[in-house]
Structure formats: structure tokens, C-alpha cells
Amino acid sequence: MIWDLHCHLSGVTGRTPAERMGRLIEIADRVGIERLCFYMGMTWTKEPTPEDLQKQNDEVLEALQHYHDRAFGFCYVSGDHVEKSLSEIERCIAAGPMVGIKLWVAHHCNDPAIDPIIRRAAELKAVIYQHTWLKTDGTTYPGESSPYDLVELAKRHPRTPLILGHTGGQWELGIRAVRAYPNVSIDIAGSDPTAGLVEMAVRELGAERVIYGSDCGGRSFASQIAKVHGAEISEREKRLIFKENLKRMLMPILKAKNVQV
């Protein structure tokens, strides 16, 4: 069975978070995905206001309501709004059901200003996910982090587990960039099902640092699952990537919250 690190309520039909969730679970069932981690809401903006963060977190909370046995929520936060991010972490994680944080674009993650967010998330044992995309075609979004930005963050928080979103986009560079920082794992979601990506990641980082995610609904579950199923690696390594690594990262906060899995 598969745990999916990277799911959204966008890119799928449905008028409400609950409808979209129902649709995604129905499709996830066809391809053997057991648990899904959700972050961000039904519509996105590249420079979210504090109100946007709250509204999108509300949508995820609503979507989770009837699916606590299938889905986890990550709290959407932003380095542009540190105070609001900290209060959203209290509301959604400390006092709510969420188990991780998601940092997207708008604010580079190398900025020490985001450290209070990272520290509070770490105290709560929340999983910390940072989107990264290193692009060669010049379409980088304002404040979009690169793997090099994440490395600076990882150096400041060497004992805090961090996740490099999208393996940095240009994965041949992303994998190399984080190789020397064992607190950084990689998310393989949200890129074309290019042969060799997972093999290189396992070779350079070890399978324990590689985590399956899809980036659904914009991506197909199938194309992302295939990256692992089709990789020339062992069955044990596939099990780690599909489920065990993410489960291991989530267990401390799930235990603290008394969530049975």
C-alpha cells in the first residue's frame, strides 16, 4: 500500500472541498493509495495574504472531516506572514488535526525570518515540507525557493527533518545539492515520469531519504506511482519510498496526537 505525501484540492472537479476529496479518494482507491497528505485550498495565489492562508487551511480542514481514516492535513504557511503562520500552526496543528506544514512560493526559505515557523513546527514534531523548483527557462515565481535555499535552511536546523519539494525540479541538481545534509529528504512528486530519477536518488541519498508523492489533482497518480513501480530498485526500497519513510516521519506527531494508523 501507498502513502502519498503531496496532494491538493485543486486540479480536480467538485464544487466543495468535500466533493473534491470524495472524487480524489475514489480515484486513489483504483491505484492502491491508502493515505493522502493534503495542503493548500481550492484556488491558489502566488502571493497569499494572511486571509488566503487561513481560508485555504479551512478548506483542507473541511475536506478532512469525513476522511480522518484516509487523509492527513498540512498547514499552509508563508515566510511573508510569520505571525499569521504561527497562529495558523497553533490553530490547525497544536489545537487541530493537522500534522505538518507546507511552505510554497512568495518567500525564499533561506531567509532566517522563517526560523520561528520552523522551530515551532519542529517542537510540535510536524513534518516540514518546502516547495522547491530550479528552472532553466526563466519562469521562476517571485520568492520561489531553490534546493540551494533549502540547504541554507537545513544548515541552520541540522536536527530538524526537512523535505525538498519536487526534488528541486531539476532533479539531477536537487539530489546533488542536498546529498551532504542527512536531515533533508526528497519529495519525488509533480514532475514527468522520467526514467532514472528514483534510481539516481536511491544511489546518491539512500532509499530512506526518498518519499513518494503525486501532486494530484494536477498530476496523475499513475504517472507518479510509476516513478517508483518502474524504477530499477529493490522491493524493499520501493516499500520505503511508497510508505515507510513518510510513516516514520509522521509517527512522532501521530503518537503525540493519539492517532492510530
Partner 1 sequence: MIDVNVYLHRWPFRRVPGDEPEALVAKLRAAGVTQAWCGSFDALLHRDIAAVNSRLAVECRKFGPGFLEPFGAVNPTLPDWQDDIRRCQETHSMKGIRLHPNYHGYKLDDPRVVELLSAAAARKLLVQIAVTMEDERTQHPLVQVPHVDLAPLVAQLESLTALRVVVLNAFRGAKVDVVDKLASSRRAWFEIATKENVAGVEALVQQVGHERVLFGSYAPLFIHESAVWKLRESPLGGGQLEAIQTGNARQLIGAA
Report the residue number, 123 or 172, with the smaller CB distance to partner 1.
172
Contact residues: Zn ion, CB under 5 A: 215
Sign of the dihedral defined by the CA atoms of residues 246, 248, 249, 251, in that order = positive
* Binding segment toward partner 1, per CB under 8 A, in 39-47, 119-127, 170-178, 251-259: 170-178
Q: Does residue 216 interact with partner 1 by CB under 8 A? A: yes
Shortest Å distance, C-beta 42 to partner 1:
15
**If we measure between CA atoms, which residue out of 247, 180, 252, 254 comes closest to residue 34?**
247
With respect to Zn ion, which residue has the nearer C-beta, 52 or 215?
Answer: 215
Which listed option, partner 1, Zn ion, none, makes contact with residue 123 (CB within 5 to 8 Å by class)? none
**Residue 193 interacts with partner 1 (CB under 8 A): yes or no:** yes
Binding range to partner 1, per CB under 8 A, among 65-73, 79-87, 121-129, 217-225: 217-225
Radius of gyration of the chain (CA): 17
Q: Are 113 and 156 in contact (CB under 8 A)?
A: no
The answer, yes or no, to whether the previous bond of 217 is cis (omega within 30 of 0) is: yes
Residue 218 identity: G
If one asks whether residue 199 binds partner 1 (CB under 8 A), the answer comes out as yes
Shortest reach from residue 26's CB to partner 1, in Å: 9
Task: In whole angstroms, give the CA distance from residue 185 to residue 176.
Answer: 12
Choosing among partner 1, Zn ion, none, which partner's interface includes residue 227 (Cβ < 5 to 8 Å by kind)?
A: partner 1
Nearer to partner 1, 17 or 193 (CB): 193
Q: Binder to partner 1 among 12, 71, 121, 164 (CB under 8 A)?
A: 12
User: Could you give the C-alpha distances from 78 to 8, 18, 131, in angstroms and in order?
Assistant: 17, 25, 11
Q: Which helix (H) or strand (E) segment is 60 a member of?
A: helix 50-64
- Residue 36: strand pairing partners: 4, 71
149 or 215: whose CB is closer to Zn ion?
Answer: 215
242 phi and psi, to 5 degrees? -70, -30
DSSP code of 140?
P
Report which of 45, 7, 42 is spatially closest to residue 27, judged by C-alpha positions. 7
d(Cα 91, Cα 177) in Å, to the nearest integer?
Answer: 34
Q: Minimum distance between the CB of residue 229 and partner 1, rounded to whole angstroms?
A: 5
- Residue in 5, 9, 24, 127 binding partner 1, rule: CB under 8 A: 24
Tell me how far, at minimum, the Cβ of 192 lies from partner 1, in Å: 5
Tell me if 165 contacts partner 1 by CB under 8 A: no
Contact between 81 and partner 1 by CB under 8 A: the answer reads: no
Tell me the C-alpha distance between 96 and 89, whole Å. 9
For partner 1, the binding residues (CB under 8 A) are: 11-12, 23-24, 27, 30-31, 133, 135-137, 139, 169-172, 191-196, 199, 216-223, 225-227, 229-232
